[in-house]
Structure formats: C-alpha cells, structure tokens
Amino acid sequence: MSSSYDPLLDSNIQSSNTNKVLDLAKHAENKRALIVQAGLLVLVLTILHAIFTHPIITFFAPHPILNSLGLVFLAHALLLTQPPPISPVHKTLSGRIHGILNTTAVVLFLTAFSSIFYNKAIHASPHITTWHGLFGITTYTLLSLILLFGISIYWFPVKVFGSVAKAKSFYKYHRIAGYFTLTLASLTILLALDSDYNNNVLHISYTVVGIAVTAIWGGLVLGLTPSRLGFI
C-alpha cells in the first residue's frame, strides 16, 4: 500500500510533482525570453528614434538599424534552441528554424557592414580605426564562420565530417563560439555609443542601451545548459 509520505511509491503524486517542477521551469524560461525580447525592443526603438530624429545619412543609417535587427534574429535563433528538445520532431524543426534565423541574421549583419564600409569609402575615410570597428569586424567574421560551420554540421554532415556522429561531436564548439560571438556583438554595440558620431550627433543614451544590452546578453547566457557545452 502506498502512502502520501512516500512519493516514490505513489506514481500519481510523483507525476504531479514532476509536472509542477516542469511548469515552474517553463515559467522561468518564458520570463527569461520576455526579458530578452524587452531588451531587443528597447534597443531597436532607441536606435530607430535616434536615426529618424536626425538628418538621415543614406549610407550610414542602415548600419545601426540592420545591425540591431540582426541581433533580433540572432537572439531568437538562440532562444529557440535553448530548451533541450522534447522529441525528435521538435529537435529537427527547431534546428531548421535556428539555421534559417541565423542565416537571416548574418545577411542583415553583412548588409549593415556593406553600408558603413561604402559610406566610409565615398568619404575617403580610413577603415577599422576604432575599438568598435575592430570588435565589429571580428563579430561579422566569426558569425559568418559559425554559420558556415553550423550549415555543414546540420545539412552536410557526411560530406564535410564523414559521418553524422562525427559532425554531432562538433556541436559543442559551434555553441561555445556562438555565445562568445554574442558577447562580442553586445560589446560592439556598447562601443558604438562612444563613436564621435554618437557623442556629437545622435546622443543615444549609454544607460538605456546599456540596460537593454545587459538584458539581452544576460537573458541569453542564463539560458545556457552548461552540460551542452561539453564542460561537465
């Protein structure tokens, strides 16, 4: 006979407790995703407000706008794959959408780069002369490489790595590089605030963007499962 003091023997109580724990975990996850999304919304609105309340510089304006939109896609690609998959169908679908969102993010980031590069070229300004520029070019390069790496693991595992199992063993490096580059992208945005153009013209608030970027970065990093990085 089972007793309510002995949950191991009472499968109803045990499963109701498990459900409660799962509900709490889901609730915490949703809250974290909302914090990330609130940070993204504040970032995008702050940048749009700064750009459209000043004279538009045709080839500069797309740079901050498309970069912040790139971050929106990148953040959602990460949010989507953070909860461990609950079924093979979930795993396949979330992997596919993760790839599509990240491809979109990289297209937006590289278009943002082309616009600032062209803007500098037509004004005969030198390239990569600031910490923002240096962190930025490193972010673009790493994101593009991580995307190619992810596409190879997911869509061409046998061709590139010889077998599906071998390809899967590289996922942890893809994840580590992904979170490292997210950190670089976050720092790049903060460094952009110290550009002459922001300090003299746009005046985008350090405090508002600082809080938004911390919410985005913090919310995403807190969603990391350390065991999936291969350290534990």
**Nearer to ligand HEM among residue 133 and residue 178 (C-beta):** 133
Least CB distance to ligand HEM at residue 218 (A): 17
Nearer to ligand HEM by C-beta: 43 or 79? 43
* The 3-state secondary structure of 118-150, one letter per residue: HHHHHCCCCCCCCHHHHHHHHHHHHHHHHHHHH
Closest distance between ligand HEM and the C-beta of residue 173, in Å? 22
Opening angle at CA 82, ends 95 and 86, nearest 5: 70
Closest-CB residue for ligand HEM? 136
CA distance 95 to 21: 26
Residues 6+ apart with CB under 8 A from 170: 149, 153, 161
Closest approach of Cβ 174 to ligand HEM, in Å? 19
Burial of 196 (0-12, 13-18, 19+ CB in 10 A): exposed
In the complex, minimum distance from the CB of residue 7 to ligand HEM, in angstroms, rounded to a whole number: 49
Do 13 and 4 contact (CB within 8 A), yes or no?
Answer: yes
Q: Which is nearer to ligand HEM, 93 or 122 (CB)?
A: 122
Binding residues (CB under 6 A) for ligand HEM: these are 47, 63-64, 67-68, 113, 116-117, 120, 127-130, 132-133, 136-137, 139-140, 185, 188-189, 192, 195, 197-198, 202, 204
Taking the CB of residue 135, how many other CB atoms lie within 10 A of it? Answer: 18
Smallest separation (angstroms) from ligand HEM to the CB of 148: 18
Nearer to ligand HEM, 33 or 109 (CB): 109
Of 47 and 167, CB closest to ligand HEM: 47
Give the nearer residue to ligand HEM in terms of CB position, either 67 or 81.
Answer: 67
- Return all residues near 165 (Cβ < 8 A) that are at least 6 apart: none
Provide, rounded to whole angstroms, the least separation between the CB of residue 121 and ligand HEM.
8
Q: Are 60 and 119 in contact (CB under 8 A)?
A: yes
